[in-house]
Amino acid sequence: MSKAYELKAEARERVGKGSAREVRRQGKVPAVIYGEKQSPLSIALSYKDIYYKIHGGGFLTTVATIDVGGEKIQVLPKDYQLDPVRDFPMHVDFLRVGKDTRVRVEVPVHFVNQEKSPGIKRGGVLNIVRHEVEFYCPASAIPESITVDLDGAEIGDSIHISAVKLPDGVKPVIADRDFTVATIAGSSAMKPETEAAPSAAVPTAGDEKKESDAKAAAPAKAAAPAKDAKK
């Protein structure tokens, strides 16, 4: 699980597009906290803090504490908007989380021991079907990633979610089938093994002698009769 962090925020009395633009002009990012059967709370966050958290990785899978005027609220980032040209954060949505809150999150998939896969060693290719898998899990125990071990994987093998060891309380959202996470596929560059064509035999000195003796023992071809000379 990623390390939790704390952010300081200011409550916003006004909401709407005009208010959000004013917040951005002040170098801050508008955001909202919702959930846990409470009224939404509009806030403004430090642009610098949010920018580095979003681009630092694991933002949507890490629980944070937001200090709003001394009130500390545990939240999980659920969504954010970036400027389509400059990648600046424009807005963030946070979900309130409690001790027993379960959340739905997408968790990255990491692959290990590729060098121990006989199929990959023989030229096979790791075909990743799912780079991320969606899970239900406790908000206090969101895994940073799940790990798929490729030790012993052969060409043609499929790795299903049932083969992946998951932390306690973490369950796939897709529960009606044992879905595929990755496969080991044959490479188009691989050539099938074929039997070598027999090479022409190289005659030895003994073989040449036998052939010579056989020619000598064979009866000479009868010479064609000569024509009578003209008288």
Looking at residue 199, its pLDDT comes to: 47
Sign of CA dihedral 39, 4, 50, 85: negative
Give me the sheet containing 180-185, strands edge to edge: 125-128, 180-185, 158-160
d(CA 78, CA 104): 10
* Domains of the chain and CATH, by start: 5-98 (2.40.240.10), 103-185 (2.170.120.20)
What count of Cα atoms within 13 Å lies in the side-chain half-sphere of residue 107?
28
Distances (CA, A) of 180 to 52, 88, 100, 177, 184: 34, 36, 30, 9, 11
Q: Report the C-alpha gap between 207 and 212 in whole angstroms.
A: 9
The strand pair at 89-96 and 71-82 is best described as: antiparallel
The residue behind tokens 């998939």 is: 109
231 residues of the chain, pLDDT tens digit each: 567 899 999 999 888 888 899 999 999 999 999 998 899 999 999 999 999 999 998 899 999 999 999 999 999 999 999 999 988 999 999 999 988 899 999 999 999 999 999 999 999 999 999 999 999 999 988 999 999 999 999 999 999 999 999 999 999 999 999 999 999 998 765 555 544 444 444 455 555 555 555 555 455 444 444 444 444
Specify whether the CB–CB gap between 103 and 137 falls below 8 A. Answer: yes
For position 208, what pLDDT does the model report?
52
Single-letter residue type at 227: K
How many CB atoms neighbour CB 157 within 10 A?
Answer: 17
pLDDT at 200: 46
> Does the reported pTM lie above 0.75?
no
Cβ 205 vs Cβ 188: under 8 Å: no
